[in-house]
């Protein structure tokens, strides 16, 4: 009887430890690899463009190539593991430009982890 009680207690402890590890994994790993969702409807097309072309896990070199090919200017690196670009998009329904400052965050292996999109003032296009 005492042996059975100990084994049931051990099984419960193992289950609790497993649940704690799964929860920690979700918090630390699972939630990080996605774009921070924007509520600004005019920024949604930029977010969709990025999610389609440079999803989480994309190497930094591919993100750089994507930005360069489309002529999106980048800013000097502020922090290691980050890349900041200015992306301008024309809303085809309203024929209005919207400009976003996009920060790309990379993990220690140089893979895209998250992106942050913030609206900025529209600037005239460079000639």
Please state which of the ranges 24-38, 43-57, 59-73, 86-100 shows the lowest mean pLDDT. 24-38
Dihedral angle of Cα 75, 79, 80, 86, to the nearest 10 degrees: -30
Quick one: tokens of 86?
């200015």
Query: CB neighbours (10 Å) of residue 85?
Result: 21
Please state which of the ranges 29-38, 79-88, 108-117 shows the lowest mean pLDDT. 29-38
| Separation between Cα atoms, residue 81 and residue 112, nearest integer Å | 9
Model confidence at 39, pLDDT cuts 50, 70, 90, reads: confident
Give the pLDDT score at 3: 53
For residue 44, give the DSSP letter.
H
| Separation between Cα atoms, residue 104 and residue 90, nearest integer Å | 21
Say what the pTM is: 0.67
Alpha carbon of residue 104 to chain centroid: 7
Residue 6: strand, helix, or coil: helix
């Amino acid at each position: 009887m005492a042996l059975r009680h100990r084994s049931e207690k051990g099984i419960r402890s193992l289950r609790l430890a497993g649940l704690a590890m799964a929860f920690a994994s979700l918090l630390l790993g699972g939630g990080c690899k996605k774009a921070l969702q924007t509520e600004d409807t005019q920024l949604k097309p930029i977010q969709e463009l990025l999610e389609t072309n440079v999803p989480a896990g994309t190497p930094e070199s591919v993100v750089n190539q994507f930005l360069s090919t489309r002529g999106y200017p980048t800013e000097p690196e502020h922090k290691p593991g980050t890349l900041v670009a200015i992306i301008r998009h024309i809303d085809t329904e309203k024929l209005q430009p919207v400009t976003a400052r996009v920060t790309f965050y990379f993990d220690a292996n140089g893979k895209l982890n998250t992106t942050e999109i913030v609206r900025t003032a529209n600037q005239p296009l460079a000639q």
